Chain A
């Protein structure tokens, strides 16, 4: 068990290194000289060379990568081209805000999806099942950024019940557990929860239906076990799959929030990236993507490890 966890950890290292390489390459994917955004228009060739050397752009790419990686590991993500402040200072609060939104979406979407899926899986072929299937397929098909706009139209524009944008009263971006803040959270969180809820409902339904077809369930029923107990057995066998789907969906929320944050002007990572893209502030874009994708790697790792706790068969693999 411990050995498995250690091995899994070690396997994540090359992935993490790969992620840093991709993030590093992003800057060099960008058209034109990465320097052009920092240079004044009337820079003389000498100035250009000086700045180039200052940024380390005169060295070969692998060296640049290693230097960059060393800086990143020690917490130096470079300077924002826009604000001239350390990138990390912008990323940390943004990540916090995205986390708040993601957790809220998890709280709404996961139980909803799981319960719907379980009900449908237990009543396969019935009307309930069809309704749930319709809901979940709507959930996975809907463009959530559009759904956000629709919710804004209904609850903010027409009813005036909930705020349309921002994170707190008066445009402040600190979070507190009170109604004034929670009402700002409600619409974006619901919007963000729709896709994972749909996906979770779908896979829970499929898993439950699958487990119920197994011979051991028939045996339990034949033994005269009460339906509640049988359900417990089914649930226990479906748990690893459900857990895996939920973990993956939580991780996807971190990336998926960019569009929702834009709709609701939620000051998270998505919002940060969006502005970075249009100001061509590549260090900010790069840093944010790196942090989010490393989170993604860690969450996937945790899900894997957790899964082995539930399902010892996986450990062998």
Chain B
């Protein structure tokens, strides 16, 4: 029998420099650092999030303090940097506080839907057969509704309220995420490395966590990140329809709704909250594109 050590490549020449294997996520981070647009968007989002979190600390005024004397003051009014709303409340303060609910109702449903839809899609893709049929045909039914319509239908039937908006949007986003997770899982399952893992007699959960999940997470994550922008727009839209939080609470969509009555008197003021929705949604969209670019590499 040959001696094992003989067959090992003997390091005759000085050991070759060990290539630093940075792995997948290392590569993603590196590519992201070279993408200024994505970094800027990330910065803007971070700023909006921080402002919302630390609203009581940085807000220039009490967002609920009304003033009949100072209604609908324009941008640049002394003491009110962005003017005031229809009840004389400080616009900037309300935007900062409003970000709390708007961001929360925008991001939470996507996170919940990614968890639920991801697990469902993974199960459907990995187990196939009846499990797949049951899950995916149910998803098809929910897919058969235009997304805004489904959101309005559910939150309309449940009635106005923050929780109902969250439920409605989560239900809207589960099917698309589930579909992506299912198709990526089905693909991954057909790869020879999963077959090879099965050939070792490994337990199913082990194959899923080591070989399937890491390869499914990337595409699902990219897709989910692209939904945040949509989610923020629809969540604010529901709020704009009056289905979200109730006054006097601040929320960008609700602010648009109440200020709409004053569109002829103070058109400039009426559209300000929408700018925040727009910027946030745009930044999430661009960031998602940047992520896709950084993660979707053919290796």
Contact = CB atoms under 8 A, between A and B. Distances in A.
B63 to A, nearest CB: 20
Contacts of A30: 157-159
Contact of A143 (B138, B152, B277): B277
Nearest to B141: A18
A278 interface: yes
B267 A157 contact: yes
B152 A273 contact: yes
Given A149-B256, A153-B267, A274-B241, A255 B149 contact: yes
B133 to A, nearest CB: 11
Contact of A27 (B157, B240, B268, B274): B157
B285 interface: yes
Interface residues of B, number: 46
Contacts of A67: none
Contacts of B98: none
B256 A146 contact: yes
A137 B263 CA distance: 27
Interface stretch (B70-78, B86-94, B123-131, B229-237): B229-237
Contacts, number: 143
Interface string B122-164: 0000000000000001101110111111101110111100000
Interface in B254-285: 256, 260, 263-264, 267-268, 270-271, 273-275, 277-278, 281-282, 284-285
A142 B281 CA distance: 7
Interface in A210-226: none
Contact of B147 (A18, A145, A255, A262): A255
Contact of B153 (A16, A26, A153): A26
Nearest to A146: B274
Contact of A149 (B137, B158, B260): B260
Interface residues of A, number: 53
Given A29-B158, A145-B256, A300 B144 contact: yes
A15 B141 contact: yes
A296 interface: yes
Nearest to A137: B285
Interface string B45-67: 00000000000000000000000
A250 to B, nearest CB: 10
A278 B243 CA distance: 9
B144 A138 contact: no
A29 B154 contact: yes
Contact of B145 (A14, A142, A253, A296): A296
5 contacts: A140-B229, A145-B237, A252-B146, A256-B146, A293-B145
Interface of A: 14-16, 18-19, 21-23, 26-27, 29-31, 137-138, 140-147, 149-150, 152-153, 157-158, 164, 251-256, 258-259, 262-263, 273-274, 276-278, 282, 285, 289, 292-293, 296-297, 300
Given A30-B159, A143-B278, A153-B271, 16 more contacts: A14-B137, A26-B157, A137-B285, A140-B229, A141-B233, A146-B256, A146-B273, A153-B263, A157-B263, A254-B149, A255-B146, A256-B149, A258-B241, A277-B241, A289-B145, A292-B149
